[in-house]
A = this chain, B = another copy of it.
C-alpha cells in the first residue's frame, strides 16, 4: 500500500529488547530532532524529553515501571515531561524565539502574544496540566511513527509511577514525568514480534462520509 503502512505494520509494542544492541549517536540525534519538531498547541512546546541510557538509572526506574523489563533491556528509556509552572514567562520566551528565528520585531507579535497569554491565563492549574499532557501525547504519537520509519523499536509505556520517576531523575522547577517509551532493537526471540497485529475492522474505527 505504501512504505508508511509497511512501517506501521512493522512496529509493535516491543516486549523483549536485545540488550546488546544500542542506538548509534546518529540515531539518538535524529530521534531528539524528531521530538523537537513535534507539533504542539500554538507551537508552545510545553515539554522536555529525557533520554536515559545509564544502566544504574534504568535499574532504578525499573522498580517504578511495574517491572517491565524493557526499561533495562532497551537502549534508551525516554521520559516525556511537562512543566507545571508553565505560564506567561514561557509564552514570552516563545515570542522572543519567534522574533529571533523569523527576524521580526516583538511589536509585530504582540497581538498573537496576547491571544496565547489569554488562553493560558484562562485555565486553572488542573486544566493547564491536562492541556500540557495532551501536547506530550501528541509528541508520543509522533515519536512512535518516527521510530517506525527509522526501524527503531519502541514500546509506549503509561505504566510508570510518575512521582517516583521524578525523584529518580531529580526533576525540579516544576518538571513532571507523564509517560515513557523505551527504544532500541527487538530481541530475535521476542515472540510478540511475529504475532498478527490486532486492529478492529476499518468500518468500526473509520467513518468516511460522502
Contact = CB atoms under 8 A, between A and B. Distances in A.
A158 B202 CA distance: 25
A123 interface: no
B54 A209 contact: yes
Interface residues of A, number: 68
A101 interface: yes
A150 B3 CA distance: 10
Nearest to A100: B198
Nearest to A170: B209
- Among A150, A196, A204, A207, the one with the most B-chain Cβ atoms within 10 Å of its Cβ is A207
Contacts of A2: 30, 150
Contacts of A143: 141
B102 A34 contact: no
A7 to B, nearest CB: 8
A43 to B, nearest CB: 6
B30 A4 contact: yes
Contact of A206 (B36, B43, B145): B36
A4 B206 CA distance: 26
A146 interface: yes
B48 A205 contact: yes
A33 interface: yes
Contact of A48 (B41, B149, B196, B206): B206
Given A4-B150, A37-B9, A206 B139 contact: no
A145 B41 CA distance: 16
Top 9 closest pairs, chain A to chain B, by CB: A141-B141, A137-B137, A138-B141, A145-B145, A141-B142, A8-B37, A32-B206, A51-B208, A50-B207
